[in-house]
Amino acid sequence: MFSKILIILACVPLYVVNSFCDKYISSQDGNKNNILYNGIKFLICSIIFFPMALIADVPKFAFGVVFCGVACGVMYAVSKTVILKGYEKTSVAFMTLCHAAGMIIPCIIGHFFWLEKLSILSVVGILLAVTSIVLLKDSKADKKKFKTAGIVIGIVVFLTSGGVMIAQKLMGLYFSEQSISAYNFYSFIVAFFILCFFVKPKNTDKKSKKSVLICSIGSAVSLSVISFVMTGLAGSVPSVVLFPLFNGLGIIFVCIGSVFVFKEKLSIKNVVGLLLGVCGLCLVNV
């Protein structure tokens, strides 16, 4: 288990790279290039996995790998498009809470169906980690009034975020003898085709196009490695360790890194969030 924990920790810098690319694009031109950016990113990811899937000497068209891959792709696409509407209907902090809380789903299901122990300390640790993520997410929109549509969207984001992790667990637990590369290819190509329906032609200058392309490449490479490794580990590492450790630690390092990269200042709320996050992760991994 120790070696697998080290692999998870080694992927955290890739989480930071992926998040920084997302963060940069979302801050440019009123976030109008977000769907285009995600579409290109998913296309590049599918291109990366296509030759790997072809040469893999394991089943790549079996029901399990196709089902899990398509399901994950739908979750990816819905989450990436719906969350943008959520920002319009309610606060960024609430949407961040819904997205982060998604990791609770595989932990609970793992306890009841996959014989993964979920102790009281682990539950407290996960809740602290989720609270930490919300505190680390400063937003000028935090005072925006809640609307029914915003709450519904939050629930959808919560379920689709957890759905991606569930797809990884199903693939790792029940279909590990099938091609993980094919699973990832199906996930990303399905997400790409779905997002194609939402991309609308917009007047984008050359500088913005270049930024979108560069960030798409950086995010795609890091996301591809993350998805491959996390799916491979999902079958042998308990959900209560895998998802809170990777996502929680990733968010903490993104917050710290943003101070240097994006010149953001750490508020008292951010510092409290960092401390809660560290405490939560320690409890999860006791």
pLDDT (tens digit per residue) in 57-99? 888 899 999 999 999 999 989 887 787 677 666 666 666 667 7
Confidence bin at 155 (pLDDT 50/70/90):
confident
Tell me, what's the pLDDT at 129?
76
Q: Which residue has the higher pLDDT, 4 or 99?
A: 4
Give the integer Cα–Cα distance in Å for 36 and 26: 11
Give mean pLDDT, residues 158-176. Answer: 91
Give mean pLDDT, residues 150-178. Answer: 89
Give mean pLDDT, residues 112-140. Answer: 76
Mean pLDDT value across the chain: 83
pLDDT of 254 higher than 90: no
pLDDT (tens digit per residue) in 208-239? 788 889 999 999 999 999 999 999 998 888 88
Of 27-31, 54-58, 114-118, least confident by mean pLDDT is 27-31
pTM: 0.85
Q: Which residue has the higher pLDDT, 140 or 123?
A: 123
Amino acid at 30: G
Give mean pLDDT, residues 157-178. Answer: 91
Confidence bin at 285 (pLDDT 50/70/90):
low
Give mean pLDDT, residues 99-125. Answer: 83
Confidence bin at 141 (pLDDT 50/70/90):
very low
Percent of the chain with pLDDT over 70: 87
Q: Nearest Cα to 62, choosing from 176, 168, 190, 193?
A: 176
Confidence bin at 142 (pLDDT 50/70/90):
very low
Give mean pLDDT, residues 269-273. Answer: 79
